[in-house]
Structure 1
Amino acid sequence: MSNRLIRTASVAALTLSAALLLSACSSSAPEDSADASGASEAAGTIVITDNHGEVEVPVDPATVVALDNTSFDTLEEWGVELAAVPKGVMGSAWPGYTDNEDVADVGNHREPNLEVIVAEQPDLIIGGYRFGDYYDQIKEQNPQAAVIEIAPREGEDQFEELKRQTEILGQIFDREDDAAALNDGLDAAIAGAKEAYNGTDTVMAVNTSAGQIGYLAPVVGRGLGPVFPALGWQPALEVEGATDDHQGDDINVEAIADSNPDWIVALDRDAAFAPEDREAGSEPADELLTNSEALQNVTAVQQDRIVILDPNFYLTEGIQAYTELFGQLEEAFSAA
């Protein structure tokens, strides 16, 4: 065979091999592309179950609006930048958001400016809690966004709900280990406070505002009600028909005195706000309780067993706030 024929055969063989290789690559490309696309979609979104049902939300969303006070501590701790918040109900608890002019102000839940949210074109809106009444309106106005409500649900265990909320936030912002650490911290704080309580001392929970004392009922009372079953507290007083009103139920100091609680735990609603923003007649909770003539013979007053919550508790009420509260209670009850 001539050299020319050998070269021609070799070229033909190489061409055929190349064609077969290209054909193989071409036939497998759609499957590889589909796999890659599916992996991207799986990494880009996640389906969570919020207070309304299943919702597909973006993972680590670019533009976030948050309205739920119980989520702010976690978001701030994880360095989540927010496009808009309701500065009117945040007091001075989160200056990183409220003092930042780049963060738009939705106002307060009584007269919110929901157009502010629309203008930010968010990918994710964390609604609910004080803004629960606006859920449908917010969804309608922001069709491009995933709108979720993950605040503790009424009738459910408060602390399991806070852990659920934290777990969902961990999934959304790719901070699942951090979320687990927060949940473990809450469990440990509850266990410590429960161990410090002797199981027999009676406890009265109250809140104070504008110089008035409100009754916070076991289980249902705002903020402190759920602490009773969690720690096995013996209530000093149980009032039929008690509510979860944010101001507490009306009670006269004589009723508190007659119940003679061993402990008084107080939520000072005014303390979270600057003096000029407080209601007329406001007085620090410790002074209001200890200076009351009617309460002078109460065991809690005589033995200095009054626990005043962190001033910002009324605003925060998230997993960090309760973890700190249980630590505070453990310290107080252990020292008694």
Structure 2
Amino acid sequence: MSVDQQDQLGSLKQRTLQLGELFDKQQQAQAAIDKLDAQIAAVKPQAAQAGRGLVVLFSGGKISAYAPKSRFSFVYDALGFASALQSDEKDVRGNKLTPEQVAKLNPDWLFVIDRDAATGRPNAVAPQKILTAPH
């Protein structure tokens, strides 16, 4: 049930249909896919005009940025945001950045994934504190 990183959206749809079949919920699975397709269709034209985006993962006080065709590339590949990363480097584990480097990239949109909050890490530093700290 893993997701193909080279085709995240297609893989997500395929896995949704497989789960729908497994649990005899094919209609609900297809309805969820149709809803997702409609939402993507609504966002994509706006994303194309919205400027550059940057997907970052915060974990343990560290920042990792993700490029198109990487593990969090849905924002770029499916939604159509241009990447603020100038590099062709597509590190699946993310490109390590400092807050200063994020500021220098100056993305129009910053998509933040807070792993510490998702995993309930105690005493974690919030991403906004890291990004807004004096550099």
For residue 158 of structure 1, what is the aligned residue in structure 2? 8
SS at match of 1:197: helix
In the alignment, the residues of structure 2 paired with residue 188 and residue 266 of structure 1 have an alpha-carbon distance, to the nearest angstrom, of 24
1:191 corresponds to 2:41: yes
Name the TM-score, length of structure 1 as normaliser. 0.37
1:254 corresponds to 2:100: yes
1:274-313 to structure 2, matched below 5 A, reads 274-276=120-122, 282-289=124-131, 291-294=132-135
81, 84, 109: which one pairs with 1:233?
Answer: 81
In the alignment, the residues of structure 2 paired with residue 261 and residue 286 of structure 1 have an alpha-carbon distance, to the nearest angstrom, of 15
For residue 317 of structure 1, what is the aligned residue in structure 2? none
For residue 168 of structure 1, what is the aligned residue in structure 2? 18
In the alignment, the residues of structure 2 paired with residue 197 and residue 226 of structure 1 have an alpha-carbon distance, to the nearest angstrom, of 12
Structure 2 gaps, min length 5:
none
Name the TM-score, length of structure 2 as normaliser. 0.86
1:204-215 to structure 2, matched below 5 A, reads 204-215=54-65
Contact map agreement 1:236 1:261 (CA 8 A) in 2: yes
How many residue pairs get aligned? The number is: 135
SS at match of 2:19: helix
CA RMSD of aligned residues (A): 2.0
SS at match of 2:64: strand
Structure 1 gaps, min length 5:
1-149, 295-336
For residue 180 of structure 1, what is the aligned residue in structure 2? 30
Q: 1:151 to 1:275 in 2, by over 3 A?
A: closer
For residue 334 of structure 1, what is the aligned residue in structure 2? none
Q: Give 1:239 shift.
A: 2.5
In the alignment, the residues of structure 2 paired with residue 198 and residue 217 of structure 1 have an alpha-carbon distance, to the nearest angstrom, of 16
Identity of aligned pairs, percent?
33
Q: Which has the larger radius of gyration?
A: 1
Q: 1:261 to 1:154 in 2, by over 3 A?
A: closer
Higher helix share: 1
Q: 1:154 to 1:194 in 2, by over 3 A?
A: closer
